[in-house]
Amino acid sequence: MPDTGIARILITEDEIKTTVGRLGAEITACYKGMTEELVVIGLLRGSFVFMADLIRQIKLPLIVDFMAVSTYGDGTVSSGDVKVAMDLDQSIEGRDILLVEDIVDTGNTFSKIIRMMNNRNPRSVRVCTFLDKPSRRTAHVDIDFCGITIPNEFVCGYGLDYAQRYRNLPYVGVLQLK
């Protein structure tokens, strides 16, 4: 493995491409016939690579917004706290919104964000995650569009980091824990 710190590849570039294509088709079919633009909201920073690929596979009029929340800091253990570091640019009242996440692990982050979004009175809220790690779930999250379910391993690449590193890997790899 040329990238030091990555033990092995879990999801290849080809698998990522196929998965994003499928999710784009599912989302397109789900919202077909809608009258207003879809608001696609990416949760920074982990979702930005997935988000960039995903929106190009959604064949509908849409607008994009981002929200930054703090999750793990520089480690691999969740603190359980979710803080909004950067809020949305626009109101989502009366709009159809699609929340895009890189990975749902305990569900703590996403469940809190979904509640926060629902309090802003959108017309609908649906959620899409690239990866799902259900074995560690402690907070319930209804995932409408799910990419790939993975075992309980800490993964990096395709936007996911360890201490801000590895986000640029074109595949998803398992971190070599020291």
- Interface residue with ligand 5GP among 10, 155, 158, 169 (CB under 6 A) is 155
Is 129 a binder of ligand 5GP (CB under 6 A)? no
Nearer to ligand 5GP, 28 or 78 (CB): 78
Query: What six digits make up the tokens of 136?
Result: 């560690």
Q: Give the H or E element holding residue 99.
A: strand 96-104
Complete edge-to-edge strand list for the sheet that includes strand 155-156: 6-11, 172-175, 155-156
The CB density around residue 46, as the number of other CB atoms within 10 Å, is 23
- 65-84 residues in contact with ligand 5GP (CB under 6 A) are 71-72, 78
Least gap, CB of 46 to ligand 5GP (angstroms)? 4
* Residue 140, phi-psi category: left (phi > 0), alpha (psi -120 to 50), beta (remainder): beta
- Which one among 42, 105, 147, 158 touches ligand 5GP, defined by CB under 6 A? 105
Nearer to ligand 5GP, 92 or 156 (CB): 156
Q: Does residue 57 belong to the site contacting ligand 5GP (CB under 6 A)? A: no
Does residue 55 touch ligand 5GP according to CB under 6 A? no
Q: Is 156 in the site for ligand 5GP (CB under 6 A)?
A: yes
Phi-psi label, residue 103: left if phi above 0, alpha if psi -120 to 50, beta otherwise:
beta
The rounded radius of gyration (Å) of the Cα atoms in the chain is 16
Residues, the chain: 178
108 binds ligand 5GP (CB under 6 A): yes
Q: Identify whether 105 is a catalytic site residue.
A: yes
Question: Contact residues for ligand 5GP (CB under 6 A)?
Answer: 46, 71-72, 78, 101-110, 133, 154-156, 160-162
* Catalytic residue ranges: 105
